[in-house]
Amino acid sequence: MVCPESNAGASGLSAFLIELNQMQSYFKREVIIGFSIIFVSVAVFLVGGFFLSRDIALQADNVVGNRSLILERAAILDTLADLKNDAVSAADYRRAMNAILVTRDQVALGFSDWIGGLARGRDLSFSPVSFQGSPLAPADDVPGHFLFSIRVSGEAENILAFLRDIELQSPRFLVALDRFGVQQEGSNFVFSGNGKVFFREQ
């Protein structure tokens, strides 16, 4: 014969085991759901981070590209400003050069007589100026020039004064002497030189 108390104890234990089993199942389900939520959250975060990082990289590339474009345009504007300033300077330079330079015809017709007048004024004997080859025509802001040679003789001080007259005190012709030599002949000296006389457009 089974004791009613022992039946009650067995059914209580059975109920406890069932409840424990249910709690275990519930806990397992909650853990699985919790891990699933964490896993899905991490996956969403990683996928979102991947797309966000790609978007940030694209935006960064766009910013770098735009900055480069702005720098290039700024450099172009600076260059244009420099060119504008250079053009103004070049125009001023051209006007100044045209004001002091004579024309090609004026050189051809008057340079030799001018040199002769300076030589006579310094009591020097001279040979007529000899032009060498064809004149070099002006180009852009560079004046044209004739190559020439001269020969004068006389006292040393007079030759030096004559050379100063040609290169430094010329009110009409712009002259540069390139090569020259001096020889003594008796009590006099002979100066031979080559140079350029510059001219502008007609």
Q: Is 154 left (phi over 0), alpha (psi -120 to 50) or beta?
A: left
Bridge partners, residue 151, by sequence? 127, 192
What's the rounded mean pLDDT across residues 85-95? 67
pLDDT above 70: percentage of residues in the chain: 55
Mean pLDDT of 29-39: 69
pLDDT tens figures, 50-71: 766 676 666 666 666 666 655 6
* Cα 6 to Cα 166: distance, rounded to the nearest angstrom: 144
Cβ(180)–Cβ(191) below 8 Å? yes
> For 95-134, how does the pLDDT look when each residue is reduced to its tens digit (9 = 90+)?
767 777 888 888 888 899 999 999 999 999 998 899 998 8
pTM to 2 decimal places = 0.53
Rounded CA-CA distance 151/180 in Å is 10
